[in-house]
Structure 1
Amino acid sequence: MGVDEQVTDQGNVNIVAIADFTEAGEAEVRTDGMVADNVEERLIAIVGKTLDRTCTVDDNLFELGAVSIEVLDVLARVREDFGVRVRLRDFYQSPTIRALGNMIGDAG
């Protein structure tokens, strides 16, 4: 199963597909007890596709292994998908999906 299959036609994260995608010994799909809104779900899909791994809204992208070029890719996809430009400096100060979602909401 490819990463593209982890997102539904509506752009939501397909939790079942992600759970099926993980292999034995890999990190399980985690939730932080809070339901992600549509923006956060779309961001989880963007980050998951970019980093080729599962994540939650409160994961620090750098702790997940993101390097600068991947962060730039995420921010470019955010600009394309949401029509919002997030400054790299702002993202570095709060490198989580939840914070990125808040930045998108503040700009919109």
Structure 2
Amino acid sequence: MKSAVSIICLLFVLTLQGQVQRFIYEYKFTNDSLKKDSMKSEYMFLDILKTGSKYYSKKQFDSDSIQTVAIIKQMKMNPGSISINKSFGEGGIDYIIEKKLS
């Protein structure tokens, strides 16, 4: 019985170490510093991994997910020809910040 509890505790600890911690922020910004009344907001994800961190917009995440599904469909239909469209919609932030830990 003691060894079963020890194994369960060990598996629990191992699964916790492999998890990604994701924090969601609402980022408010303006494209024109002279027009402070025209604030925009966008949800941003901060993923913290064991190897580093990644900061990107929710619209970037959604766009990447949609593109992945489209590429898989295209590969099934015609593996020799793949078309990739970069579309982020109405989002104002289309970059990713990554930090790698060494």
The TM tier, using the shorter chain, reads: under 0.3
Structure (1 or 2) with the greater strand fraction = 2
What TM-score does the superposition give when structure 1 sets the normalisation length? 0.25
Tell which structure's C-alpha radius of gyration is larger: 2
Structure (1 or 2) with the greater helix fraction = 1
